[in-house]
Amino acid sequence: MTMIIKRIVLRFFALLAGASLIFPALPAHAEATIALTQLQSGMLIRGTSRSAVYYYGADGLRYVFVNDKTYFTWYNNFNDVKWLSDADLGTIQIGGNVTYRPGSRMIKIDTDPKVYAIGKGGSLHWVSTEGVAIALFGTMWNKQIDDVPDGFFSNYKRGSDITDASQYNTASVKASVPDINTDKSLLAPVSINVSASGYSQVAVTTQVGRTVRWANLDSQNHTVTSDDLSWGSGTMNAGVVFSKTFKTAGTYTYFDSYHPQFTGTIVVQ
């Protein structure tokens, strides 16, 4: 089997698995793997044995580039990708998928003839006429459309229709979203440490969409387990981190399964 055929086969099975389809070559100047403590918001990261590339968000989660087309709306090359050990990469929870950069290209799916321009947060804006498409993307507008697999279309959300070119300016829309943190409105997580004394913050008030991050700084096992058992960390060994993004307002109470006297409350407004 030739190398080209092997690559096609790998891409096919990766698509079936819903995996990221990025295959960056190792730059000649690549450094050794970095430590978790060196991670910074906005970094591009990957493991040592797998080629999938992720965006490290301000919320401490990693976001998946579902294919190379999505990646190249944000970046021109792989020169800034940082390498982590597979074990360290595995400790960073996945926060979701990256969507096309707003103002870059248009997208559609095979089962829908409509063509959409992209807005902030993966919002879809139907380009209602050919005249509008030409005004926004030029006479070669039909060469600036990518098909998105139906399975990934759910990453996007329906926005307002574009019935007049004045409603959408590609340059200003693109400039308004310089990075993925901005596109997804990602914020630094609320940090709670777990130790032999319990949770460092027993009551936290935060806003919808904010991530809470628990880190086990103890030598003993702990958990973060909701009182109604609807969510939880499972066993957190020493050094393990668990993150949860609260997308609905409400009061969330939890406890430590290993030490039930340790309790906490998250109020999401």
State mean pLDDT over 67-77: 95
> What pLDDT, on a 0 to 100 scale, did the predictor assign at position 30?
54
> In total, how many domains does the chain have?
3
Q: Of 97, 119, 135, which closes a domain?
A: 97
Question: For residues 233 and 223, is the Cβ–Cβ distance under 8 A?
Answer: yes
Q: Are residues 121 and 203 part of one domain?
A: no
Kindly report, residue by residue over 197-232, the tens digit of the pLDDT: 999 999 999 999 899 999 999 999 999 999 999 999
Q: Are 27 and 80 found together in one domain?
A: yes
Q: How far is CA 234 from CA 225, 238, 264, in A?
A: 7, 13, 16
Question: What's the rounded mean pLDDT across residues 231-244?
Answer: 94
Indicate the pTM of the whole model. 0.80
For residues 53 and 156, what is the distance between their CA atoms, to the nearest angstrom?
Answer: 20
For residue 146, give its domain range. 106-184
What was the pLDDT predicted at 51? 84
Q: How confident is the model at residue 15 (pLDDT cuts 50, 70, 90)?
A: very low
Last residue of a domain, one of 123, 157, 184: 184
* Matching residue, tokens 């804006």: 125
Q: Does residue 146 sit in the same domain as residue 76?
A: no
CA dihedral sign of residues 149, 21, 50, 16: positive
Per-residue pLDDT band for 6 (boundaries 50, 70, 90) equals: very low
Whether 78 and 116 share a structural domain: no
Q: Which of 40, 68, 97 is the last residue of a domain?
A: 97
Check whether 111 has a pLDDT greater than 70.
yes
Q: Is the dihedral of CA 179, 180, 182, 183 positive or negative?
A: positive
Give me the chain's average pLDDT, please: 89
